[in-house]
Structure 1
Amino acid sequence: MTIAIRRPIAVLAACAAVGAMVTGCGAGPEQIGAAAVVGGHTIPLDVVQQQITSVLADSADARKLQQQKPSTFPPIARTVVQLAVWHELSNQLAAKAGVKVNEDQVDQAYNQSVAANQFPTFPGPATIPIKGQMFKDFIHDNLVWNAIGMKQAGTASFTYDFGVTQDRNSAQALVDKVVANPDQHVAIFNAASAGSSRPTTNQTGGLATVPPELAPMFKANAGSVIAFPVQDENIWVVVYVLKRSDNAGDTSGGQDVSQVAGTFGQAQMIRSAQQVGVTLNPRFGVWEPLTGYVSPSDGESSSISATVRKPNP
């Protein structure tokens, strides 16, 4: 006997609506049929579409977001393509670094999470779990990040300036000033930090000594001027990465860096996008090079990134 499996009409309608939202080519011919192009490798649009459809089919909360007017589901779609880009970047970085993941570990971690009904969730007010192949890929990527981090976290070194501003506009102005006048970076940051007793220029350190709130600079190359919010303090921080080395000898200061290895490895994955290149189908939004997130537009990004013309070696 054959049993026909029918999805609720609401699910089919929601899936069709998302299909209309993401189907189509991007700004250039290389994006036809692509959700993203990462290091010359195409992430097919239909693969991302299938993942979005699976989220809608599995979660009533996701369908509710899609059916709202206006729809509040697009952030979920952006996260789906973001995770797909992360997975491709992680695979390329692993191949370059000679890292191989034990798939038995992936299966074991996945099965344990399924048995315990514990899944990561998409960002947002609703609790929408990340399941299936997306979750498996995420577990795989975390193992890659940890392996990369264990190799590099204890030998990385950074020389940097930083300053604090009150809002995004002030941060953008400070970034622009440094990019336009990199030779005057010390005077610029000293002026921005007037009244502070804490040194803010020509600081050098590794993961063990860099203040935690400056951790986003681990994703930046030398010559980068970046800005990002520190939510708990309601401020924006601007950092000019003067120099960085991933092989500076032991920079751990005798501390155990294994606890931050995964975070540092993830930062290297996001940083690798600057070398290999990430191009998104613009229907999904824009790629943020500092955070690795997909934002609706440049004006709605959660960070600022720029590069001086002649970075220090």
Structure 2
Amino acid sequence: MGRPRALVAVVAGAFLLAGCGAGPSQVGTAAVVDGKVTSIDQVQDLLNRAVREQPYAQELASQHKLDLVGREIVRQTVLHEVVAKAARKEGLTADQSAITEALQKDPLAAAVPAGAVQDDAAGVTQLVWRLRDHREALTDQYLEQQLAVKYLPSLSINFDYTSIGAPTSEGQAPSVDAKTARSEAIAKAQEYAKNPNAIAAELQNGAQGNVGQQVPALSSPEDAATVLFGVPGNTAIAFQPNPASAPTWWVAAVVRQRSTGQQVATDQVQQPTAAQLGAIGVRMLQPYVGEVDYKINPRYGVWDSVGMNLAPSASELAGVVVPVHGGAPAQQ
């Protein structure tokens, strides 16, 4: 008797999320993407279903983290339209026979894998895939991976950067705190947008970093999923390479050039894992986000081009993207 009562309490707690306030111009609407409306009720229905069906969602509810699921539902709603537009422009189509074959074993029918729940971001993404139409979710993943496969052989970037709050070679944490490191990195990116040559001067004065760094995506699949590879040339950025393991480490950089025109020759090829391939595919969608007309109810956050995600608020973005010689954030 204890478990059903607990589950009822959790479902009730999930339902109460619908009582949160929303801006008067978006009452009842979670998101509008290219004219397609997703209502708050639709998001709430998926939340309630998640708590009923998925032990991981029940765990999140008990930790008061269901807002992560709501944001991910809206995020995947946006990305679904973005990947469809990108696929049309890139000439990519999903192999429906492969999707049908995958659905016969349906990897989304089971509960969220235990490995994924060790990381809230991965676990919540897996959870929302299971709440969606499974053919649609698998098709989106297929197209994202195809986009990564298309770009990996030819994608490379040239950039200058400085590093803030990086761990020492002995693995010791720096004295700077995470909040200060973030502020400093964002300020540097904004400075570099106005004066990209400031990086060279800082390096001469002892700052950590480098200029003229040339990196093919094939040589570093993990990095290829970061904002470094998603922005056009002449863009200043600030981001965290490894926020989980190195929370004080930020990079402020200027991407001088992003090349995709011809296959890159490199002896340092690393085969991406399936998860890395999916993450790279999502990053390759970054230039297309600006081509989709979307409005997101502030209760679900704001679009974060650095994280290709929704941040709870503008003050919690995963970094900044600023065009060189301008102060306004680049549209991504």
TM-score range, shorter chain: 0.7 to 0.9
State the shift of 1:148 in Å: 1.4
Measure, in 1, the Cα distance between the counterparts of 2:41 and 2:100: 25
Which amino acid in structure 1 is aligned with residue 295 of structure 2?
Answer: T
Is the aligned partner of 1:202 residue 2:218? no
| More displaced 10-residue stretch of structure 1: 77-86 or 115-124 | 115-124
Q: Which residue among 179, 186, 202 is the counterpart of 2:197?
A: 186
Q: Using the alignment, how far apart are the partners of 1:159 and 1:61 within structure 2?
A: 41
Note the C-alpha offset of 1:11.
5.2
CA distance 1:155–1:81, change in 2 (3 Å): same
Structure 1 171/277 Cα, relative in aligned 2: closer, same or farther at 3 Å?
farther
Per-residue CA distance 1:94-145 (angstroms, 9 max, x = gap) = 1222211123433433434257756485653997761242655443222111
Q: 2:289 — aligned with what? A: 273
Query: 1:184-263 maps to which residues of 2 (within 5 A)?
Result: 185-192=196-203, 194-195=205-206, 200-209=210-219, 213=223, 215-231=226-242, 232-233=245-246, 234-247=248-261, 249-253=262-266, 259=272, 261-263=277-279
Return 77-86 or 43-52, whichever deviates more: 43-52
Q: Quote the sequence identity (%).
A: 22
CA separation of 1:174/1:134 partners in 2, compared to 1, >3 Å: closer, same or farther? farther
Count residues in correspondence: 295
> What's 1:3 paired with?
none
**Residue of structure 1 equivalent to 2:319:** 303
Partner of 1:4: none
Shift of residue 254 of structure 1? 5.9
Secondary structure, aligned partner of 1:304 = strand
Deviations 1:32-62 (A, max 9, x none): 6532233454444443332222112223553
CA distance in 2, matches of 1:115, 1:310: 48
2:65 corresponds to which residue? 72
Alignment TM-score, normalising by the size of structure 1: 0.78
Aligned counterpart in structure 2 of residue 124 of structure 1, from 102, 120, 127: 120
Alignment-mate amino acid for residue 306 of structure 1:
V
Amino acid at match of 1:98: G
Deviates more, 1:94-103 or 1:210-219: 210-219
| Aligned residue identity for 2:182 | R
Listed as ranges, the gaps of 5+ residues in structure 1 are: 1-6
Does the 8 A contact of 1:190 with 1:201 survive in 2? no
What is the root-mean-square deviation of aligned Cα atoms in Å? 3.6
One-letter amino acid matched to 1:10: A
